[in-house]
Amino acid sequence: MNRVFFRTLADILDAGGSADLLTILAGEREGRALTAQKALVTADGLVPYDEGLRGLWEELTAALPGGDRPLSAEVLGVRLLAERLSARRQLIICGGGHIAKPLAEIGSLLDFDVTVIDDREEFANRERFPRASQVLCMPFAQAMESVPYTDGSYFVIITRGHADDRLCLERILPRRFAYCGMIGSRKKVAVVMEQMEREGYTREQLARVHSPIGLRIGAETPAEIAVCIAAEIIQVGSGLSAGSVSREGLERLARGEPMMLATIIEKRGSAPRGSGSKLLADGKGALYGTIGGGAAEARVVASAPEVLASGAPRVVLCDMTNNDARQAGMVCGGTVEVLLDPIL
């Protein structure tokens, strides 16, 4: 096992960065099978899993189409999957009021790394937000300068007043982000936006803000408003290309522990997870990540001991349209092609 490869990826994600993970799904060179060979494309350059294949990877990356990730393509006679991996998604909630409490719970359930900020102790404490990764009780200006975030961060501005809302927005807009939503009526939001445009913010910057925040579903209670905000975040996030990998599972790989890596390489129909979704299994019961749950995932997990024992990668088709799937209570009607890769 190339521990350095996985340690490099872990360090990049720990620093809040991202990298492209390239995996060969099918192909050979000079009689050598290349299935499951990997390489990282980082800000510092190319990192092959097998240094002996550097020349091949240089050719493949030069010929690989740009654009959205994940991407499955035939490149120089090789079937290749290109994914963009990023750190765990970060949800930063500015304001610890009545909407923030259910929103932080939902964010945690959606596997976000949740940070809550408020300048009032009664609204910014661990008892109120037990599932948040971070709860900061400090002035908003100070907190917005001290919280580390990336171009994949999600911001929700729901402070107790428009002055603090605007203060937070002013510190977010100059940076790149995945999502920014701000609470307020259409009239009040329009006034704030007009003022900020007069002060030099561009229309393009202001157009990136989702405000009034959330999908229009007739929400009234704090919990309902939290749901509509979360729904909008999901909607926006579904159009982004960055994927993620379990940090705990990745750390085990970096320590040299054998694991089976299952990756969805193609989805057809209404399967619950798409291309690039990952699951790590050690063959002894420990699981990290998911490829959608249900019978399909159970089949993949059950195969982990045999895949690890064989040492040979393989591609399996999980069909969720047949009678077995229906009897198991699965409501999806699609199929997923999954690469099972023993990392030894």
Q: Is residue 187 part of a domain?
A: yes
Query: What does the pLDDT read at residue 324?
Result: 47
Same domain, 44 and 162: no
Query: What does the pLDDT read at residue 241?
Result: 45
Same domain, 108 and 205: yes
Same domain, 232 and 286: no
- How far is residue 344's CA from residue 342's CA, in Å, rounded to a whole number? 6
CB of 108 closer than 8 Å to CB of 135: no
Same domain, 139 and 21: no
Q: Is residue 249 part of a domain?
A: no
What does the block give as tokens for 183? Answer: 């609470």
Q: Is residue 251 part of a domain?
A: no
Same domain, 211 and 281: no
Same domain, 98 and 204: yes
DSSP output for 246-271: -HHHHHHHHTT--EEEEEEEEEESS-
Same domain, 97 and 67: no
Q: Is residue 252 part of a domain?
A: no
9-57: per-residue pLDDT in tens?
999 888 777 889 999 999 999 899 999 999 999 989 999 999 999 999 9
Same domain, 204 and 289: no
CB of 340 closer than 8 Å to CB of 303: yes
Q: Is residue 242 part of a domain?
A: no
Question: Which CATH number covers residue 129?
Answer: 3.40.50.720
What does the block give as tokens for 18? Answer: 């991202």
Q: Is residue 248 part of a domain?
A: no
Query: What does the pLDDT read at residue 146?
Result: 85
Q: Is residue 245 part of a domain?
A: no
* Range in 10-24, 230-244, 295-309 with the lowest mean pLDDT: 230-244
User: End-to-end distance of the chain based on CA atoms, in angstroms?
Assistant: 5
- The DSSP symbol for 152 reads T
End of a domain among 51, 86, 121? 86
What are the C-alpha distances in Å from 332 to residues 243, 275, 318, 321? 22, 16, 12, 7
End of a domain among 68, 86, 104? 86
- How far is residue 80's CA from residue 96's CA, in Å, rounded to a whole number? 45
Q: Where do we find the tokens 């057809």? A: 268
- Highest mean pLDDT: which range of 145-154, 241-250, 283-292, 315-324: 283-292
Same domain, 74 and 19: yes
Cα–Cα nearest to 26, from 107, 64, 83, 81: 81
Same domain, 24 and 97: no
* Range in 134-143, 172-181, 286-295 with the lowest mean pLDDT: 286-295
Same domain, 23 and 144: no
Residues of the domain holding 295: 258-343
CB of 63 closer than 8 Å to CB of 76: yes
What's the number of domains the chain is made of?
3
Same domain, 105 and 225: yes
End of a domain among 23, 56, 86? 86
CB of 19 closer than 8 Å to CB of 40: yes
User: What number of other Cβ atoms are within 10 A of residue 240's Cβ?
Assistant: 15
316-334: per-residue pLDDT in tens?
998 866 554 445 444 455 7
**Residue 216 burial by Cβ neighbours in a 10 Å radius (0-12, 13-18, 19+):** exposed
Q: Is residue 13 part of a domain?
A: yes
252-278: per-residue pLDDT in tens?
999 999 999 999 988 887 666 777 888
CB of 264 closer than 8 Å to CB of 318: no
